[in-house]
């Protein structure tokens, strides 16, 4: 006979949301609300990026501004938010410099 499923047991396991977003203009209160929802289901970390996904090739200064929003969220919630550097690869050297800047600031990966 199969044992009944116990969701409480699963909630005790480490869970990471690897596809989360924070954007420019997000306040500490908005991010805290997002974190409260993640905690309710047992998620311990959000791996966040701020992609510009409206069908255009955004200029590098805008991409940096979006990445800065992720860095700010990481500073506000260092135990819960890990950053993923958003870049557009066609920028080549500028994109590489942005990746280096973001990784040096504590981000853990890249979002293309």
- What per-residue confidence (pLDDT) applies to 54? 80
| Separation CA 105–CA 75 (nearest Å) | 10
- What per-residue confidence (pLDDT) applies to 22? 95
Residue spans of the domains in the chain: they are: 14-111
- What per-residue confidence (pLDDT) applies to 14? 80
- What per-residue confidence (pLDDT) applies to 56? 79
Those residues of the chain that have pLDDT short of 50 are none
What proportions of the chain, in percent to the nearest 5, are helix, strand and coil? 45, 20, 40
* CA distances (Å), origin 42, targets 10, 13, 70, 89, 102: 8, 8, 22, 34, 28
Which residue's entry shows tokens 């990784």?
103
Number of residues written out for the chain: 112
Token output for 57: 């090739």
CATH number, domain 14-111? 3.20.20.140
- What per-residue confidence (pLDDT) applies to 1? 56
């Amino acid at each position: 006979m199969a044992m009944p499923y116990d969701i409480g047991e699963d909630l005790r396991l480490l869970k990471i949301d690897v596809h989360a977003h924070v954007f420019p203009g997000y306040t500490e209160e908005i991010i805290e609300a997002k974190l409260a929802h993640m905690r309710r289901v047992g998620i311990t970390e959000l791996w966040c990026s701020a992609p510009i996904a409206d069908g255009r090739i955004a200029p590098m200064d805008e991409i940096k501004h979006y990445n800065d929003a992720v860095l700010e969220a990481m500073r506000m919630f260092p135990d819960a938010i890990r950053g993923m550097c958003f870049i557009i690869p066609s920028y080549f050297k500028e994109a590489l410099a942005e990746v280096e800047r973001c990784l040096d600031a504590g981000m853990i990966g890249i979002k293309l």
